Structure 1
Amino acid sequence: MKIIAAKWLFDGENIQRDTAVAFDEKIAEIGTFEILETRYPDAEILRLDDKSVLLPGLINPHVHLEFGANTTHLKYGDFMTWLQSVIAHRDELIDACHAACYRRQIQEMLETGTTTFGAVSSYGKELTACRAAPQRVIFFNEAIGSQPAAVDALYSDFMQRLEESEKAASDRFIPAVALHAPYSVHPVLIKKILHETPQKPLSAHFLESPAEKEWLQEGRGPFKYFFESYLGQSTPLCHPEAFLNLLEGRKTLLTHAVQAGEREFDLIASAGHAITHCPRSNRLLGCGRLPIEGVKKRKILWLLGTDGLSSNRSLSLWDEMRAALMLHHQAPLNLFAADLLRAVTSRAADALDLPVGRLKPGCFADLVTVSLPDAPDNEKSVATQLVLHTEKIDRLYIQGTQHV
């Protein structure tokens, strides 16, 4: 048994003062240090100073590791320009991201406090690295392919990758399903995959860019030229509403949704889907701003993800929170900072249906400690100061075992 006593603690919902946590693999009890010390006299004790904060390990539900070798290869400012550069450099970047590249990205997430991440995998090349990661991994095997004649081959390839990942399944490695996007996965392929994987966690990119919205809703724009040039396809596969209808009965993590309108948000809310917000990626690819106020008004569960290094400069959720704090200037600062902490802890855990993300009895003891430059003088500013100043964490535990 271990006990960590903290002047400041974020439990996944609120900031608490003068609180201690007793844990081994799971959290046993929360209370005052004096009570826990008496109850667990043989526990290993760590007392944090007044500048330190104890909080749940962070959860990054959406990250692509396969393009982790990217630095200046890709072009930003517009989604279609970026996509063309990805196609031009895809093989080069995938070949350059070998085992050490994957380990480096996983280590970056570890050192910045991420104890659970959702790895979206198009080819399965990062499977070995993710299986060996100290973190809890939701391994989203991604389906992609829009040509009708290729549906059977695409389905076979997807199932082969899924089955390979299932060989490593455990409480720390969870095989899952990702549908790339409404414009890039044939509806027949979607139906076949959803029919065969009814219990798997599910993720999908959804209405990320203006070009995607124009193509899916009106059948024109830059995507029309793209599909005609590369695939000989002149009409979109699936209207956004039809795509959401395909997901009926399956709560899904919809990534981006920047270009969703009132109708799409209403459908997302009624279906109980969650939205993974990636503000830095959206900015770099010229996609716009997620109308977070509308998302919150509809009580849609929203999370925060980094996306991958093909459209970001780090995999730090602290960097992502800082970007979101500045982007959504209409939100009250201190309240929104606390909301961002919930987005990367308790809300992400709820969306993934995992017993983590909160410091409460029965949850796995995934937790981190962080030092601030100075001791906060009131609980209202703790969340804001955490978001503004945290670069790396001091200590990190996963299921009670210290890794940093």
Structure 2
Amino acid sequence: MKIITAKWIFDGENLLADHAVAFEETIEAVGLPAELEKRYPEAKKEELPKSSVLLPGLINPHLHLEFGANTTQLSYGDFMTWLQSVIERRDELVEHCKAGCYKRQIDAMLQAGTTTFGAVSSYGLDTKACKSAPQRVIFFNEAIGSQPAAVDALYADFMQRLEESETLASERFIPGVAIHSPYSVHPVLIKKILGTCTQMPLTAHFMESPAEKEWLESGSGPFRPFFENFLGQSAPLCFPEEFLDLISSRKVLLTHAVQADDALLEQISRAGHSVIHCPRSNRLLGCGRLALENLNARKIPWLLGTDGLSSNTSLSLWDEMRAALMLHPLVDANRLAEALLKAATSRSAEALGLKAGRIQKGYHADLITVALPSPVESPDQLALQLVLQTDSAASVYIGGERHL
């Protein structure tokens, strides 16, 4: 048993002053230090410096590791420009991202305090690295392919990768399913996968860019020559409303949703889906700003993800929080910082169905400590100062075991 006492504890929802946490693999109790020390007299005790904060481990629900070798190879500024560069450099980037590349990304996340991540895997090349990661991993096997004649072959390939990941399943390695997007996956393939994978965590890219919106809604725009030249398609196979109908029986983590209009947001709200906000990726690919105010008005839970190094400069959720803070200038900075911390902890855990993201009895003891440059006296300022001043964790516990 270990007891950590802190001037400030963010428990995933609220801020606690001068409290302590007792934990082994799971959290045993949260309370006043004297009470916990009396209840657990043999516990190993640690009192954090006044400038330190104890939080739940951060949760990154959406990233791609397989293109992690990218530095300057891909082009930014516009989604279609980026996509063309991905197609041209894909084999090179995948080839260069070997075991060491995956480990560097995973270690960097651990250093920043990420204790759970959702890895969207297109090829299964990152399976071993994710299984070996100290973090909890939701391993989203991705389905992609829109050609009708190839549906059976695509389904067979997807199922092979999924079954391989299922043989590795454990408390910390959870197989899941990713539907790439409504423009890139044939509806028949979606139905076959959803009919087979009824209980797994499910995610999908959705309405990311203006080009996607124009193609799905009217069959026009820069996606039209792309599909005609590469796949021989002259019309979209699935409208966005139809895609949401297909997945309506499941609670899905929809990534981006920047271009979702009011009607689509109402549909998302009714179905109980969540939206993963990736502000830096959206900025680099010219996708626009996700209007958080529209999600909040419809009570749509929004989470925070980094996407991959193919469209970002780091996998740090602290970097992502700072970007979001600047992207939404009309929201009070202190309130937005509080919402971002919740998005990166309790809200993500709830959407993924994990007993994590909170410092609460019975939850996984996935905890981090953060050292600020100096003590923060005002609780109203603490969340904002955490977002502004934090780059790495001082210590990281996963399942009560210290990893940093």
Q: Distance in 2 between matches of 1:31 and 1:14?
A: 13
Q: How big is the shift at 1:16?
A: 1.2
Q: Distance in 1 between matches of 2:396 and 2:38?
A: 25
Q: Secondary structure at the match of 2:215?
A: helix
Q: Secondary structure at the match of 1:119?
A: strand
Q: Return 5+ residue gaps in structure 1 as ranges.
A: none
Q: Secondary structure at the match of 1:300?
A: coil
Equivalent in the alignment of 1:8: 8
Q: Distance in 2 between matches of 1:339 and 1:46?
A: 29
Q: How big is the shift at 1:122?
A: 0.4
Q: Distance in 2 between matches of 1:44 and 1:311?
A: 43
> In the TM superposition, what are the counterparts of 1:238-249 in structure 2 within 5 Å?
238-249=238-249
Residue-by-residue CA offset, 1:89-139 (whole Å, 9 max, x unaligned): 000000000000000000010000000000000000000000000000000
Q: Secondary structure at the match of 1:16?
A: strand
Counterpart residue type for residue 281 of structure 1: S
Q: How big is the shift at 1:15?
A: 1.3
Q: Distance in 2 between matches of 1:289 and 1:14?
A: 28
Corresponding position: 1:57 with 2:57: yes
The root-mean-square deviation of aligned C-alpha atoms, in Å, is 0.4
Residue-by-residue CA offset, 1:123-181 (whole Å, 9 max, x unaligned): 00000000000000000000000000000000000000000000110110000000000
Corresponding position: 1:95 with 2:95: yes
> In the TM superposition, what are the counterparts of 1:4-403 in structure 2 within 5 Å?
4-403=4-403
Counterpart residue type for residue 57 of structure 2: G
Q: Distance in 2 between matches of 1:336 and 1:277?
A: 13
Q: Using structure 1 for the length normalisation, give the TM-score.
A: 1.00
Residue-by-residue CA offset, 1:40-87 (whole Å, 9 max, x unaligned): 111111100110000000000001000000000000000000000000
Q: Distance in 2 between matches of 1:137 and 1:248?
A: 25
Q: Distance in 1 between matches of 2:339 and 2:15?
A: 11
Q: Distance in 2 between matches of 1:370 and 1:237?
A: 48
Q: Secondary structure at the match of 1:227?
A: helix
Q: Using structure 2 for the length normalisation, give the TM-score.
A: 1.00
Q: Secondary structure at the match of 1:370?
A: strand
Residue-by-residue CA offset, 1:166-211 (whole Å, 9 max, x unaligned): 0110110000000000000000000000000000100000000000
Q: Return 5+ residue gaps in structure 2 as ranges.
A: none
Q: Secondary structure at the match of 1:280?
A: helix
Q: How big is the shift at 1:14?
A: 1.4
Q: Secondary structure at the match of 2:275?
A: strand
Q: Distance in 2 between matches of 1:330 and 1:120?
A: 32
Q: Secondary structure at the match of 1:104?
A: helix
Q: Secondary structure at the match of 2:101?
A: helix
Counterpart residue type for residue 137 of structure 1: V
Q: Distance in 1 between matches of 2:197 and 2:402?
A: 34
Q: Which moved more, 1:11-20 or 1:278-287?
A: 11-20
Q: Distance in 1 between matches of 2:290 and 2:14?
A: 25
Q: Distance in 2 between matches of 1:309 and 1:222?
A: 24
Counterpart residue type for residue 172 of structure 2: R
Q: Secondary structure at the match of 2:69?
A: coil
Q: Secondary structure at the match of 2:204?
A: strand
Structure 1 residue ranges, 4+ long, deviating more than 6 angstroms after superposition: none
Q: Distance in 1 between matches of 2:91 and 2:54?
A: 42
Q: Distance in 2 between matches of 1:13 and 1:326?
A: 22
Aligned-residue identity in percent: 66
Q: How big is the shift at 1:377?
A: 1.1
Q: Secondary structure at the match of 2:67?
A: coil
Residue-by-residue CA offset, 1:326-367 (whole Å, 9 max, x unaligned): 101111111110100000000001100100000000000000
Q: Secondary structure at the match of 2:137?
A: strand
Q: Distance in 2 between matches of 1:318 and 1:158?
A: 33
Is the CA contact (8 Å cut-off) linking 1:14 and 1:338 kept in structure 2?
no
